[in-house]
Amino acid sequence: MANDIKVNIQCIAAIVNYFRWRKVTVIYQDNNDFITDSVITLLSDSLRVVGSEIDHHLSFPSQSSVSEHNGAIEQELRKLRSNSNRVFILVQSSIRFAISLFEKAKQMCMMEKGYVWIVGDEIASLLDSIDSSALYNMQGVLGFRTSFINSSKSFRRFKTKFRKHYGTRYAEEEEYSNPSIYALRAYDAAWTIAEAMDKSPANATSKELFKQMLSSNFEGLSGRIRFRNTTLLKHLPTFQVINVVGKSYREVAIW
């Protein structure tokens, strides 16, 4: 129930093109050689279409400890600081790595005027879940996040239950307990299974249960849940382009 990576890459290229940045540096975590190469190639091709290019790309291992990350980040940022290109795109990153990266960049004065940082949906959609100190280090960051309807009764009910449960388990972080798009997708996936089980006989086989799941057709918290040929029908997502300001962020455009 996630967005196609191609759409995410196209949004990055659109942001770069809007500001007419012609050279960018891409920073990422190397989770899988094949997937990483595919993402970088796709991003390179999308940027080329709008007249821009990847000037440099920087890879970090995905399994490193925080201390290892910090040492490697500082070393690589020192190299990047000496380059004329100061537009950085962070893709395929964990939130933990992103927090470490921006903390170090802030310490090295690389979050000041003249530097540009862009983050993808996987980071921007989690900004409601991180504390104010992390957001302080991300001032000025541009990003985009999947837009969803947060004014419906069903969402408000879910948000209330989510915050109550989250606050019980993580009392010290209750202030930052707004559900992200990932929580909504997880809820929709669980609801799809629960609804299929409810409509199936008690002795239903796994094949019969799966068939019942594929007949799902309802408006979930993350969007319409409907399948065709065992595949979830995907609608082109709407993204909120956001800018981190103060203790939160503001929407600057819709894409």
pLDDT for the residue 173? 61
78 and 178 in a single domain? The answer is no
The more confident residue out of 70 and 113 is: 113
Residue type, 61: P
Say yes or no: 127 and 248 in one domain: yes
Does residue 83 sit in the same domain as residue 196? no
pLDDT at site 237: 82
The region, left, alpha or beta by phi > 0 then psi within -120 to 50, assigned to residue 219 is: beta
Let me know whether 87 and 109 are in one domain: yes
Q: Which domain holds residue 12?
A: 5-147+237-254
Same-domain check for residues 22 and 109: yes
Answer whether 0.95 is exceeded by the pTM.
no
**129 and 164 both lie in a single domain:** no
Name the phi and psi angles at 24, rounded to 5. Answer: -135, 155
Q: Provide the domain count of the chain.
A: 2
**133 and 12 within one domain:** yes
Q: What pLDDT sits at residue 250?
A: 95
Name the amino acid, one letter, at 139: Q
44-83 pLDDT, tens digit per residue, is: 999 999 999 999 999 998 766 556 677 889 999 999 999 8
Beta strands in 67-130 (DSSP E): 87-91, 116-119
Identify whether the C-beta of residue 53 lies closer than 8 Å to the C-beta of residue 47.
Answer: yes
- Average pLDDT of the segment spanning 140-163: 91
Give per-residue pLDDT as tens, 237-251.
899 999 999 988 999
* Residues 42 and 133 grouped into a single domain: yes
174 and 227 share one domain:
yes
User: What is the average per-residue pLDDT within 122-145?
Assistant: 93
Instruction: Check which CATH number belongs to the domain holding 125 and give it.
Output: 3.40.50.2300
Do 182 and 250 fall into the same domain? no
Statement to judge: residues 248 and 132 lie in one domain: yes
Question: Do residue 142 and residue 221 come from a single domain?
Answer: no
Contacts of 41 (CB under 8 A, 6+ apart): none
Give the integer Cα–Cα distance in Å for 97 and 215: 39
